[in-house]
Structure 1
Amino acid sequence: MTTTPAFEIKNPVDGSMGFRMVHFEDNSPFKDLQRVGHFSIIWLYEGEGLLKADFTEYTISKGTMLFFAPGHPFMITGEHVKGVMLNFHHDFFCVIKHHKEVACDGILFNNISQTPLVNIPDNEAPTIRMLISQVENELQVAGLAQHDLLISYLKILLINVTRIKVSQDVVKPAPTEQTVESEALQQFKAYIDKYFREKHSAGEYADLLNMTVKNLGRIVRDYYGRTPTDMITERIIVEAKRELYLTSKPIKEIAYDLGFKDEYHFSRYFKNAINTPPQAYRNSLKKAWS
């Protein structure tokens, strides 16, 4: 693998990756199928190649920027591919929470029916390059309020690229069996966002989609390499983390808001998902990133 050493911030709760930048000089980091557990932004400085994602192959070249949500499968082949990759975890920057500010959820991330790439025009590239340089400098310096400053740079980057993508025409391919399945996946994710507070089982979502649990499980597993229950749980946990970090609501109230019958069941559900009780998560994250 040909990469420069990564600049990385750890999640203070469990020591996992919170935010990372790495430069790459070939496609070796992406030559095998990727299903990473964090958001990824990849910008090609040089070269050309082929991206395989969303049941489709895309030609990529200098200036292409790629966006992948957690679990989004992809791989890149090509020669002389060089660029930079940014990775961030939900705990570091929640795309769902900041949707109203940056409007990128469903445009850059979490939209199976659209292409996961944006071609950055030459006249916009200096602005994007400057923002990435500012992120890199802040990762190296680690000064006062580093987390807040990195979030600000990331927001500006996402806003700029969202505007670029919205302005670009996207031609959708003719419907095929695979695109029909991708639309079902998109609808499944939309239903999760709408009903995660009240519907916690795969069967409830299969009913909404007028399909069997087995068929829903198959298409989710084929695309994401996960189960529908995994995805439902992830959405509930993302919202729980947001409430624990950003509000002072009692855990009992959070549990009720998320559809749990009592605090005990919610706490057990949360701990099973991330191996940390809700109160411990709230205390450690606020202390580390305050």
Structure 2
Amino acid sequence: MSTQSVFTLVNPLTGHLAFKIFSFEDNRYFDHLQRNNYYTLIWIKQGNGKLKSDFSEYDFSENTLFAFSLYQPFMLSSNNISGVAIQFHPDFFCIHKHHSEIACNGVLFNNVYEPPFTRVDEVSAMAFDMLFEQMATEMQNQALAQYELLVSYLKIYLIKASRLKKEQNPILSTSITETKEPFILQSLKDSIENNFKVKHSPSDYAEHLNISAKALAKITKTHFNKTLTDLIAERIVIEAKRELYLTNKTVKEIAFELGYDDEYYFSRFFKNNADVSPQLFRETVGFGRSMN
């Protein structure tokens, strides 16, 4: 790679970050809690440490790829890490609008049921290195169709990373009959996906699954490393973010569709979980103005 280690494209319409790639030799970029209005991919090539993200804490080691969504909180604690990072705003590339092409939404990003990281094997490492080099070269070359070429490299990177995560987490792509995951966990996932707009309480799901609230709470904490309340809240917020970005519905309309009669209660709930108000999220992430 070039001796330069940071390459940034700024959206001329907003003045905000559009696309950025950089290499790092220490933890100074990530040693504080971050909630960004863009997507972040961090590949730890060397080193180890702890990740704090959402409501959980995880240990990590070398050859780990992290993927963080819009305003998803994260912080890395380590003294010896090095690697590369890619950051992109949804105005630059929208994973929702291109879901049929890359299918990373719900796998790499916005997956409340799996940890936000993937192990990188030797073959994938070679592919990621090559793509990063191609992006770095193109960032220095303001030629015809630079944007289109960068998006193409980014798409390939996201596709390869999503495939890798699916291979390592078969539950993302297979049915319960093909996995050893306990039936109750798959039933809980299905129940949350089908009912999060109307059922907001852990007791609702315990009743729906015919299991005691205490037993369900223990299973959820053990397997997902977060409480059922957190799991439900994350799922609601992800849907709210999606609606705020992809539609021009009012906050009141979105709140109502998600089962909240009180717009102001919903706005407080969103801010408590996303650390930003629905209005500010829409202003910083935008809606329907994606460049692609």
TM-score > 0.5, shorter chain as reference: yes
Opposite residue 269 of structure 1, the aligned amino acid is F
Separation of aligned partners in 2, 1:165 and 1:151: 21
Structure 1: give runs of 5+ residues left out of the alignment.
Answer: 171-179
Opposite residue 118 of structure 1, the aligned amino acid is V
Shift of 1:23: 1.8
Opposite residue 128 of structure 1, the aligned amino acid is F
Match of 2:217 in 1: 216
Separation of aligned partners in 2, 1:114 and 1:244: 23
Change (3 A) 1:276 1:230: same
Shift of 1:159: 0.6
Separation of aligned partners in 2, 1:56 and 1:283: 29
Change (3 A) 1:44 1:282: closer
Separation of aligned partners in 2, 1:83 and 1:250: 41
Match of 2:66 in 1: 67
8 Å Cα contact 1:185/1:219 also seen in 2: no
The residue matched to 2:120 in structure 1 has which SS?
strand
Change (3 A) 1:143 1:93: same
Change (3 A) 1:247 1:50: closer
8 Å Cα contact 2:8/2:21 also seen in 1: yes
Opposite residue 129 of structure 1, the aligned amino acid is D
Structure 2: give runs of 5+ residues left out of the alignment.
Answer: 171-179
Shift of 1:149: 7.1
The sequence identity of aligned pairs, in percent, is 34
Match of 2:173 in 1: none
| 1:47-82: CA deviation from partner (whole Å, max 9, x where unpaired) | x4346579876653xxx2413446687857575x43
Separation of aligned partners in 1, 2:91 and 2:191: 23
Q: How many residues align?
A: 261
| 1:172-208: CA deviation from partner (whole Å, max 9, x where unpaired) | xxxxxxxx99998887666443322222234324545
Change (3 A) 1:253 1:246: same
Separation of aligned partners in 1, 2:266 and 2:169: 43
| 1:135-172: CA deviation from partner (whole Å, max 9, x where unpaired) | 556777899999887655433211123334556799xx
Moved more, 235-244 or 186-195: 186-195
Separation of aligned partners in 2, 1:120 and 1:235: 33
Separation of aligned partners in 1, 2:216 and 2:158: 35
Match of 1:285 in 2: 286
The aligned runs of 1:142-153 (5 Å cut-off) are 152-153=152-153
8 Å Cα contact 1:112/1:183 also seen in 2: no
Shift of 1:113: 7.7
Opposite residue 281 of structure 1, the aligned amino acid is R
Opposite residue 47 of structure 2, the aligned amino acid is G
